[in-house]
Structure 1
């Protein structure tokens, strides 16, 4: 496994630290939707639920198709018939929430593109006749999945990364549905299960982020790999630094002299070293 790049590691750790320093203005975000694999009709996947969790307090706001249906007096069996109208109302509420909390930062897991991400939610809203009055700026979106790759290296856990990372850290996956299980739940009309899974995932993402921040996250990356960048930096410095080479050369010579002349006073080492090593 390749060691993380020291510069990217430092930068991404700094990003995570800053997010927790500003935790009152950070929302952990996730959503569930119809499967976006093996789609041949070109239609965008329907969204079933969205959750946003405050990083500092854990307070969570959620938007779910079955909750909107309940408010409209529609039972679970009738959701499919009214899905577009219910989904539009759900997304109305989500974008109203985003618009009323401008300037917030959003920590997420792989929500990066039109296939699955903020752009996919925006596209789906427009398909349903809505128009977002406020779009979250890209600089306010932080992908924890990519940050962890920068911090721990590309092979820090197996695939799928979220599932294997939960197992490695013994984080209980109660109510958690993986991609295949979510697709099956959608086909079965298990919107409550999808909503519970979404709520659980924002909690898990926050948990993982917290462990990465306090350096307690368990991964497959070894200590040597984690610190390999610093070792390489030291070696490069030693190879290029004349003062360092002079110092180590003098130390080696004096060490040999003392080895063969053990009766020499110990002050010789200190005196010689102070003479050869440049001052500050």
Structure 2
């Protein structure tokens, strides 16, 4: 279990990053994407991507990349999308990485996009599988809002699934938004437009939550102690680890011992 001092340090770092973001909002992008289910994949293939949405936090302008849009531009009929999926997906990812290349110096806010199952590594790997060359975004430019909320408010700040519960607590409407299982079902049913609408809605929701965290109006289940990083154990840990306090404690013990000898 992490010490209270480590938790406090993580909270400070997350808050500092948020303060940095709030200082240049026009260079902050919020990203989310949808894909087929990454569960029950015995052969280990990365899930195919359906749509990606990137929203400028300051202006609200959103760039979107989706299978059905590429199919329309390429003249591929809806019933033929499944047969041409790899070609369409490659073109979609190519468009996305052209956009990313132009915005490499922006901060990219995301929700749990951390690994090969779901995240920037998954997008990169999928494009490589399709014989594309992805643009790798520097780690310092990625900001996981989901982890930041845990660092700031603690593990119990909201129930699971956290994004949905956070929306409910803050009265954010779920219009067009699908949860994980819902997106997987929509993919199986080839409801690509529905998936795209859900992706667009999620970047809107994430931008909304980001704004509330920055202006301190976000509602959670966190206690005052959790929110402000105040815990009695912090004082004990600080005294234990700081050599001045340890030395002072030793001198006091010695003094009391000597006092006991003479009296």
CA distance in 2, matches of 1:51, 1:200: 9
Match of 1:222 in 2: 223
Q: What does the per-residue CA deviation read over 1:101-148, in whole Å, with 9 as the maximum and x for residues that have no partner?
A: 23121100000011110010000001111112x311111111000000
Q: Confirm or deny: 8 A CA contact 1:34 1:183 kept in the other structure.
A: yes
Deviations 1:135-173 (Å, cap 9, x if unpaired)? 111111110000000000011111111111111111001
Alignment partner, residue 121 of structure 2: 119
Partner of 1:9: 11
Cα distance in structure 2, aligned partners of 1:20 and 1:79: 41
List structure 1 segments (4+ residues) > 4 angstroms apart after TM superposition. Answer: 230-242
1:227 & 1:105 partners in 2: Cα distance? 26
CA, structure 1 residues 217+72, in 2 after alignment: closer, same or farther (shift >3 Å)? same
- What is the Cα deviation at residue 6 of structure 1? 2.5
Kindly indicate whether residue 174 of structure 2 is the aligned counterpart of residue 173 of structure 1: yes
Partner of 1:86: 88
The question of whether the paired residues in 2 share the 8 Å contact of 1:166 and 1:172 is answered with yes
- Give the CA deviation at 1:236: 7.7
Report if aligned partners of 1:5, 1:229 keep a CA contact under 8 Å in 2: no
**Aligned pairs for 1:34-45 within 5 A:** 34-45=36-47
1:55 Cα deviation after fit? 1.0
Please state how far the C-alpha of 1:14 moved relative to its aligned partner: 1.4
Q: SS where residue 173 of structure 1 aligns?
A: coil
- Deviations, residues 221-270 of structure 1 (Å, cap 9, x unaligned): 1123323526665788899599xxxxxxxxxxxxxxxxxxxxxxxxxxxx
Which residues of structure 1 form unaligned runs of 5+?
A: 243-280
Q: TM-score, normalized by length of structure 1?
A: 0.80
* Aligned residue number for residue 251 of structure 1: none
Question: Would the aligned equivalents of 2:11 and 2:229 in 1 still touch at CA under 8 Å?
Answer: no
2:160 corresponds to? 159
The residue number in structure 2 matching 1:136 is: 137
Greater shift in the superposed pair: 94-103 or 183-192: 94-103
Contact kept? 2:34, 2:52, Cα under 8 Å: yes
TM-score by length of 2: 0.85
CA contact (8 A) 1:106 1:140 kept: yes
Q: Any unmatched runs of 5+ in structure 2?
A: 249-263
**Aligned mates of 1:160, 1:166 — CA distance in 2:** 10
Asked if structure 2 preserves the Cα contact closer than 8 Å seen for 1:33 and 1:48, the reply is yes
Helix, strand or coil at the partner of 2:70: helix
User: In 1, distance between residues paired with 2:192 and 2:139?
Assistant: 30
Aligned residues: 240
- 1:164-215 Cα offsets, whole Å, 9 max, x none, are 1111111001110000000000000000010001001111111111111111
